[in-house]
Structure 1
Amino acid sequence: MSDNHGSSPHLKALTQEEMLVLAKQDLKTGVGRSVKHESAAKQVSGEAIYVDDRLEFPNQLHVYARLSDCAHARITKIDVGPCYDFPGVAIAITAADVPGQLDIGAVLPGDPLLADGKVEFYGQPILAVAASDHETARKAAMAAIIEYEALDAVLSVEEALKQELYVSEPHSHQRGDSQTALANARHTISGSVHIGGQEHFYLETQVSSVIPTEDGGMIVYTSTQNPTEVQKLVAEVLGVAFNKIQIDMRRMGGGFGGKETQAAGPACMAAVVARLTGRPTKMRLPRMEDMLMTGKRHPFFNQYQVGFDDNGRITGCEMKLAGNCGYSPDLSNSIIDRAMFHADNGYYLGDASITGYRCKTNTASNTAYRGFGGPQGMIMPEIIMDEIARHLGKDPLEVRKHNLYNGMHGINGFGQPLTPEDAGRDTTHYYQPVEDNLLPEMIAELEASSDYHKRRAEIRAYNSSSPILKKGLSLTPVKFGISFTATFLNQAGALIHIYTDGSIHLNHGGTEMGQGLNTKVAQIVAEEFQVDIDNIQISATDTDKVPNTSPTAASSGTDLNGKAAQNAAIIIKQRLVDFAVRHFNVSPEDVSFANNYVLIRDQIMAFADFIQLAYFNQISLSSTGFYRTPKIYYDRDNARGRPFYYFAYGVSCSEVVIDTLTGEYKILRADILHDVGASLNPAIDIGQVEGAFAQGVGWLTSEELVWNDKGRLMTSGPASYKIPAIADMPVDFRVKLVENRKNTEDTVFHSKAVGEPPFMLGISVFCAIKDAIASLAGYQISPQLDAPATPERVLWAVEALKTKSDTKTGAIL
């Protein structure tokens, strides 16, 4: 290859016409394209490798944990002697055998790896046995002798509130004088509702495989959303420096928040065994043990009082949101905070007071789940809007429009120009301006495309002539804040190498759990270098490559890691442009990248050839990238700030039919319009919207968690815990992304997060079920219905409504 500035055997002349044609062509696998998931073929063929698929090592041990069968008790005796009667048992460990720190609490202490003198929930690990195979370990663990002294257990949120048992103190958001606003309100209503929790039910249960290294460290293959936290906690339980621990995470078989903190336990137990025995060790939780040991979505008990005018516009509001945190803090502070942040959804609540209670109970410590507390807060204003509508005899959609935040183009909820009465209705109860509100426009679009008013009239006619089957319809919005509310987590790193054949190695701090993160980040890098995505190889998330990563959560995976990868690509790209300018004696404007080529003035070179030329001229082809989210801050003491970089919006309209004799129901149709900014990958984004809607529907309808009076989870497997199946999906399912709406903030290619926001679209189904029940009372009485709205609860609500008196006629309904 020549070093002369103006010539190279790899360069060829290109006419102006050819250059123009090439420049106008879009990269087929860059951003904005529906590129298939990078592991799709492997996953559908069974070739994708998960932690439990890895080849076992010689002498590998398998760990099984013995769990508490008391909700709250002192441990008076532990005898592991009988465990060693089973051939193949290598070791049985208790809290006393942990060489380093025992507590593995995520943020605050309170989560011992193994119970230390006391158990605080039914299913808490007390001891662990390692043997040559899993079944032997199980049998040996069950042979251990454990004796208890029972203590009083608190198993409900109401009891915790009564006793003022909290994992941390209550906290409030306050705007204006809510008490005075309520006292002066034209109308007031009040009520309470139980919002159930939710099991993550990832297909791959918690699992880690650990290999001791020669320098006293560990290589940990683990299914986790948070490799850096697992690295930290494994190091701490072993009493070694973080740099001794390497975490390797290629993919998860689902996470949904359940592997943000809960993956640490099995990883740490396996690591302790590996340290004490010097042997490779794996711990994979069976489904029942996984469900007993790990936390869920927080169940909530919510209370409210609302004042409003004759139009249904809210003038004052007080809410009390009480989350069941379980026995320890885990991530509950941030989760209850997010519930409080989202207690407005898309509505201005007038003078408002929102208080969050972090209740301590003797159940497994509840944890992150898709939406991270947002859904449990966001459902409240939707329930309230329906209550107001029935109190006033109005269409619920009309009431919703009266209460929306001002639209971004100077319109109100009805799409009309703002009036003096609308002044100030653009700031949340935590004082963040809502500057990019698309909801008035999106609601108007879905209202028209779904034929809302025509169907509302048809449903009323149907219900008047159908004594047993009743239909319901509801259109609900979503406004969801994007960013970690723990501000320091809004950062990410990435690493890019370009090899001399032009192929690109990409590594970033995010984790792939099926959501398509790796595909999107690869598309971003492909777009920057203008090469095909097939030219990019993404390796497993690895703490040796990108350190100090934030968890893949809060819908920020692509926002953070995509920007970090883009930053690394831009650094390398600028080096290449600078090199080309010097080497070919051209200006920077003469150098561009397009469709796997580098264009240099009126000549063209294949990307791979150009990279080789840069290498021979000693140009660095590797770079790290870093990104931190700008603009966000939050003063928790004063409950003011901008905790979210931006908001993502959605609207869903659902129609259901219920059987008033059995409580059974069916979703007949769902229309969804969702905002993802400038979509990086429309196919993946639509898939995320569809999946999130299904999971949200499951949370509010079929997924019921039941504990007995001893604190044992009775719904600990698929036979008793019902996630949605294909037959539970809408008969007619229509999903559309908002078009031509770039994110107004400087996110990666002006896209928006799509992981969590569409989960709350499922609220429309819950409201539609209540609408169908309310038809029994001429839509004048709102049914009392807790979530999940199982057929049993629907039937109870139907029967309760039938026995209520119509205050206007005195008739029994």
Structure 2
Amino acid sequence: MSIIFFNVNGKDIQESNVDPELTLGYYLRNTLNLRGTKLGCEEGVCGSCTVVLSTWDHSKNRPIFNAVNACLVPLFHCHRCFIITIEGVPPGNVIKERMARGHAAQCGFCSPGFVMSAYALLRTAKNPTIAQINRAISANLCRCTGYRPILEALQSFMNQGCCGGKINGKCCKDEESSQKLSDFSDFPNFDPTQELIFPPSLIVYQEKQQIIHFKGRNIELYLPQNIEALLQIINQNPNSKIVSSAMITRLISSQGFRKDTWISIKNVEEFNKIEISDDWITVGSGNSLKILVDLLIENMNEETIRVEIGRFFENYSSPQVFNFASWIGSILMGAKSKSSVSDLLILLMVLKPEFELISGTKILLNDLLYNSNDKVVKNIRINRNIHGNLKLLKLGESAENDSTIFNFSALDDSIFIGLGGIPKPWDGIQFKDIIEKESLLISPKPLNFSKALNSTQIFGPSKLESVGRPIANVYNERTVSGDANFVNDTGSFKNAVHLGFVISTVPHAKIINIDISEATKIEGVYGYLDIRDVRGDNQPGLSSDDIPDDTKIFADGKVESVGQIIGVIGACDVVLARRAAKLVKIEYENLPSIVDFKEAIKQNLLLGKPLIFGCEEREFEAISSESIFEGEIHLGGQEHYYLETQSSLAIAGEAGEIVVHCSTQATSFTQLMISKFLDIPANKIIVKTKRLGGAFGGKVSNSAWIACIAALASKYFKSPVYANLSRSEDIQITGKRHEAFAKYRVGIDKNGRIEWCHYKVWLNGGWSIDHTEMVLFVMGIKIDDVYNMGKVRFDGFPVKTNTCSNTAFRGYGTPQAKLINDGIIRRIAWELGKSLEEVQEINMMNEGGKTFLGNVLHSFKLRECWENCKELADFENRQEYIEVFNKEHRNLKRGIALSGVKFGLPHPGSTAHGIASILINLDGSIQLTIGGTEMGQGLNTKMLQIASEKLNRPIETITIIDTSTDKITNAPETGGSQNTDTNGLAVIACCDRILKSGLEKILEKNNGDWMKSVKEAFNSFVPLQCTEYGIVNREQFGVSENDNPYFTTGACCVEVEVDILTGFNRLIRVDIVMDVGESINPAIDIGQIEGAFMQAYGYVTCEKLTFDKSTGKLEQAQAGKYKIPRSTMIPKDFRVKLLGTNKANNAQVYSSKLENHFLIDYFREL
């Protein structure tokens, strides 16, 4: 019997009967119950699953620590390895502490991955450079923070956070600067002697197995330990597949049930040898890409070649993949890929190496690529003495950490070009056009990993004890330690059923037949559910009073979009369930489909009636405008890309009761949806949410669909059921930000003042209503943005296409309105030859003014933010500098622009209330419950600060356990940026009621002795618990029912640099000034502002959604194909100032205003 031997967090483990397809990630989570390792994409893209994989280098008598993606690494490759997970990093570790206290976590789903990437580096580099730190986390994604606090926390490990640049002879940290949120000077340094040592058992381990052999569900695996054993296996299995790291092979295999035999060369002794002679570098094919590249950088004789190779591979896809992937796999898989080009391959084309096969035959690169089928490479030999001028270039859709679509290598007269992602063969004329543009072949300015982040956070002092303090999110210590549980971490049920989703593969068709026979005959598959098993309402959203939604939970007789849910397979594990779901055969009868948004507009395909606001068209004719302009603006959609995918855990109980743990922003809404779907009373359903791994609006209606299906399955299978979407399923099934198309006509006077504007706007709703009509409504009432637009008419059209049903997204129509208006302002400035700022200031709204619908602008500080921002940004001087810069640079150009934003809060209507409950226990501890959900925005922390202030108790004595419908029911969904107001008012009301019910007098009598007073209150029958509503009081401020009591306003100045040849761009500096009143927590507010800003940057630069018009499929339906901003893309100078204001600002809770999340608006200017 074969075994593999490894160590996890200091514990020796021996495993037999290992399934070759089992990943380290699933093993850690499901077998060892180490749930701190998160699975965000399962494609090696997001970095949430990062762990440290360490091996012993016997030649140097020391351990090697590498960060790897646990979701990609097969467990069998951990033989003789030491694995450290987030649980193996001891409590109080300085990385965790700096991340937690440095505000470097919001939702926290990504945090363990960041910690482990940094941990791997610090176990290797005692004094890492700023470039090493930035590179180490460059493939870890975060959708919440905007990366600034993460970078600051981790950069503090390098020479006290100094980049060593000494610009103008002094350190940037010596400059006078305003208050900062975090100071790491008092933290101890990282001490590797306090960490887990490399296990001695692995150092002395003697391999006694010539061949390790495992047979899994689909794959038979051999791991030979030497060439003799390898040859024996190849002879016995002539049709076998040779694998190296096996990451890509396993990923492809995981999509089906194909039987195969793998032979891994990873542990073959002769394939792991490295030899350096005077003339040659020889590296065995069992070694990683990182090892080969490091050897080239260290041992090529010519310094310029070493430097160029090092620079080129700084931008390689991902450090985690780079650390583990084999160099031979990189060459061969890259050569076969149709979508990308191997970076290593393009380098080897000019280095002209020699390859030795297992037979001893030596071949060149061309022979390996085109003439060596079924031959096994033993090693590569590269000449150390190559001389000449080496130039390497890599271009992808993003500037770094991206698949390559164009790369180039040249060594003197030898030139090679690699092309990936080309949809059809190129002819000679097209290729000639490329090479004639010589400037394209000049390597663009390399990504500068060596620059330290410069940031400033300015906020006012607080006179209160708890409120107004920049305390860290109370869950940070848990999230950075991997101790924070998300839905998919909840419970460990041996009898649990996991769901695999059967989704449509065509955009519009009748369902003729569903054949489940191939899927259900597989051992471990329990059954199949679809519309035929629904006893309640398959369209439960139609019963909603606020936002009626006609979305069908299951397809009913036909499908209307690729990705629409047809049914689900239940199985013993999620991998099997997903595979089995792909075996369900759907017979379709295709119907006409419209995927293209513009075509749907042309055909006037609408989801509902047009929405019209404002004046009549004839009123425009009465105005004699100096100029009239008209134009069109098209805005794309945006994927939420929350790191935690849609997840639910349903546990059916007795008498029809059911508990559903759901990753949702709307627990009460989800409860009602399940009630309608199952046709059972809501009082038998409890929906619980501990925390969300990001949401951004995407977990309101969409999360309820998944919860409904999980609840149905739990009742059907009579077991706990996990419904956890894969990243690809999530992207295909769930809605996005609405794509928009606008036509406008605008009339202005001779000074550029707007006199009237007529908007016609179409929103792409997808196949069902979902939130489309409401988003269009909000867009219409906010279409004037921050400008006095004179007379306005808005015609809005909800368009139906055969694409995913679009939904709520951060801003809820406001960003689209803003971007359309900014386009109009920019057009006016262009036509009149005026500066953009002049036209903006002429038309800007003022305090006490009105929107086009007549809503009064209460507590409106936009002008103050604008002037503060211009001063903070040194706007005019930088404009002059940029003019000089652009004259001096041919291909690099810079731009600078200002923009303003407004958002009226709280919203009128049924969502303008919150609910809270307080329980005081006899030990003096306090349990607080609110109707809002914690999703990284710091809501619970702010509520604890408010309760602490009102009750005069330390925050540590108060806790919020979760949001649950058995504690708080009928709560509005968490969203719209108003939940600190609504829930905060409820918390204040609760505290006031408890104090005024008798506890306050008892406290006075006992001189504030809390414990004594609580016991006396109990013995005196004084209530120690209550539930209260918090209702926005508009009358208090003389505000009408439909008006907003106040406006959150802000201004931003952005400076960018663009390479006009490649389109690559980078943020030079960003200055933001926001009026949030007297902030309840400046750290949380600033974090939300920065995170929204980077999400906005992604929307207008690197994030795009496109559909194949012939198949209806989303072309970015995988984690690696949809590009969100990375840590390397943030502005190197990032300044945020909270304006600060007096208490007379119509704010609801401690004179605070809610931060505006919609900084998405600032980029259209550029």
TM-score (norm: length of structure 2): 0.58
Contact 1:528/1:569 (CA < 8 Å) preserved in 2?
yes
Report matched runs for 1:189-204 at 5 Å.
189-204=629-644
Q: Please, which of 710, 719, 726 is the counterpart of residue 1120 of structure 2?
A: 719
| 3-state DSSP of counterpart to 1:552 | coil
Contact 1:652/1:670 (CA < 8 Å) preserved in 2?
yes
Distance 1:178 1:687 in 2: 47
Report matched runs for 1:36-185 at 5 Å.
36-105=472-541, 107-175=547-615, 180=620, 184-185=624-625
Q: Please, which of 615, 618, 621 is the counterpart of residue 1021 of structure 2?
A: 618
- Alignment partner of 1:449 is 2:872: yes
| Cα offset, 1:302, TM superposition | 1.3
What is the number of equivalent residue pairs in this alignment?
697
Aligned to 2:922: 500
If asked which structure has higher relative contact order (CA below 8 Å, sep 6+), I would say: 1
Q: Please, which of 711, 717, 734 is the counterpart of residue 1135 of structure 2?
A: 734
Which letter maps to 1:365? S
Contact 2:859/2:1146 (CA < 8 Å) preserved in 1?
no
Aligned to 1:789: none
Distance 2:1047 2:563 in 1: 38
Rate the CA distance shift 1:492–1:461 in 2: closer, same or farther, 3 A: same
| Cα offset, 1:179, TM superposition | 5.2
Which letter maps to 1:759? F
| Cα offset, 1:162, TM superposition | 2.1
Distance 1:716 1:87 in 2: 29
Rate the CA distance shift 1:454–1:377 in 2: closer, same or farther, 3 A: same
Which letter maps to 1:346? V
Q: Please, which of 740, 756, 760 is the counterpart of residue 320 of structure 1?
A: 760
Contact 1:209/1:280 (CA < 8 Å) preserved in 2?
yes
- Alignment partner of 1:331 is 2:771: yes
Q: CA RMSD in A?
A: 1.9
Contact 1:339/1:374 (CA < 8 Å) preserved in 2?
yes
Contact 1:325/1:360 (CA < 8 Å) preserved in 2?
yes
| Cα offset, 1:139, TM superposition | 2.5
Q: Please, which of 1072, 1097, 1112 is the counterpart of residue 697 of structure 1?
A: 1097
Which letter maps to 1:157? F
Q: Please, which of 886, 889, 896 is the counterpart of residue 463 of structure 1?
A: 886
Report matched runs for 1:545-694 at 5 Å.
545-576=967-998, 579-580=1001-1002, 598-600=1003-1005, 604-631=1007-1034, 642=1042, 644-694=1044-1094
Aligned to 1:780: none
Which letter maps to 1:33? R
Which letter maps to 2:1026? S
- Alignment partner of 1:431 is 2:886: no
Higher alpha-carbon deviation: 198-207 or 428-437:
428-437
Q: Please, which of 697, 714, 717 is the counterpart of residue 274 of structure 1?
A: 714
Aligned to 1:11: none
Contact 2:822/2:1164 (CA < 8 Å) preserved in 1?
no
Contact 2:594/2:802 (CA < 8 Å) preserved in 1?
yes
Higher alpha-carbon deviation: 71-80 or 175-184:
175-184
| Cα offset, 1:436, TM superposition | 2.2
Distance 2:1049 2:596 in 1: 34
For residues 146-199 of structure 1, give each alpha carbon's deviation from its aligned partner in whole angstroms, at most 9, with x where no partner exists.
Answer: 111111111233222222221121111114767525862101211111111111
Which letter maps to 2:602? K
| 3-state DSSP of counterpart to 2:1104 | coil
Which letter maps to 1:522? L
| Cα offset, 1:727, TM superposition | 1.6
| Cα offset, 1:578, TM superposition | 6.2
Distance 1:130 1:429 in 2: 54
For residues 293-315 of structure 1, give each alpha carbon's deviation from its aligned partner in whole angstroms, at most 9, with x where no partner exists.
Answer: 00001110111111112221101
Q: Please, which of 676, 681, 703 is the counterpart of residue 236 of structure 1?
A: 676
| Cα offset, 1:281, TM superposition | 0.7
Contact 1:227/1:549 (CA < 8 Å) preserved in 2?
yes
- Alignment partner of 1:759 is 2:1158: yes
Higher alpha-carbon deviation: 678-687 or 82-91:
82-91
For residues 634-668 of structure 1, give each alpha carbon's deviation from its aligned partner in whole angstroms, at most 9, with x where no partner exists.
Answer: xxxxxx97253432101000011111111211111
Q: Please, which of 299, 306, 311 is the counterpart of residue 739 of structure 2?
A: 299
For residues 325-347 of structure 1, give each alpha carbon's deviation from its aligned partner in whole angstroms, at most 9, with x where no partner exists.
Answer: 11111111111111112221111
Rate the CA distance shift 1:360–1:100 in 2: closer, same or farther, 3 A: same
| 3-state DSSP of counterpart to 2:1049 | strand
Contact 2:462/2:469 (CA < 8 Å) preserved in 1?
no
Distance 1:733 1:578 in 2: 46
| Cα offset, 1:478, TM superposition | 0.3
Distance 1:187 1:255 in 2: 44
Distance 2:494 2:1064 in 1: 53
Q: Please, which of 526, 534, 550 is the counterpart of residue 948 of structure 2?
A: 526
Distance 1:290 1:366 in 2: 13
For residues 742-773 of structure 1, give each alpha carbon's deviation from its aligned partner in whole angstroms, at most 9, with x where no partner exists.
Answer: 4622511121112xx2422x4323312xxxxx
Contact 1:671/1:733 (CA < 8 Å) preserved in 2?
yes
Distance 1:387 1:192 in 2: 11
Contact 1:430/1:641 (CA < 8 Å) preserved in 2?
no
Aligned to 1:478: 901
TM-score (norm: length of structure 1): 0.83
Distance 1:463 1:407 in 2: 38
Which letter maps to 1:699? Y
| Cα offset, 1:484, TM superposition | 4.2
Contact 1:564/1:627 (CA < 8 Å) preserved in 2?
yes
| 3-state DSSP of counterpart to 1:166 | coil
Aligned to 1:542: 964
Distance 1:489 1:198 in 2: 25
| Cα offset, 1:360, TM superposition | 0.9
| 3-state DSSP of counterpart to 1:296 | coil
For residues 38-67 of structure 1, give each alpha carbon's deviation from its aligned partner in whole angstroms, at most 9, with x where no partner exists.
Answer: 110010111101111112223110011111
Contact 2:785/2:818 (CA < 8 Å) preserved in 1?
yes
Distance 1:158 1:743 in 2: 48
| Cα offset, 1:128, TM superposition | 0.7
Distance 1:680 1:185 in 2: 47
| 3-state DSSP of counterpart to 2:1150 | helix
Contact 2:671/2:685 (CA < 8 Å) preserved in 1?
yes
Rate the CA distance shift 1:694–1:109 in 2: closer, same or farther, 3 A: closer
| 3-state DSSP of counterpart to 2:610 | strand
Contact 2:915/2:986 (CA < 8 Å) preserved in 1?
yes
Structure 2: give runs of 5+ residues left out of the alignment: 1-460
Contact 1:31/1:527 (CA < 8 Å) preserved in 2?
yes
| 3-state DSSP of counterpart to 1:307 | strand
Distance 2:1106 2:552 in 1: 25
For residues 4-48 of structure 1, give each alpha carbon's deviation from its aligned partner in whole angstroms, at most 9, with x where no partner exists.
Answer: xxxxxxxxxxxxxxxxxxxxx989751111111011001011110
- Alignment partner of 1:386 is 2:826: yes
Distance 1:442 1:557 in 2: 23
| 3-state DSSP of counterpart to 1:347 | coil
Rate the CA distance shift 1:465–1:542 in 2: closer, same or farther, 3 A: same
Aligned to 1:784: none
Distance 1:219 1:615 in 2: 32
Distance 2:1000 2:818 in 1: 51
Aligned to 1:252: 692
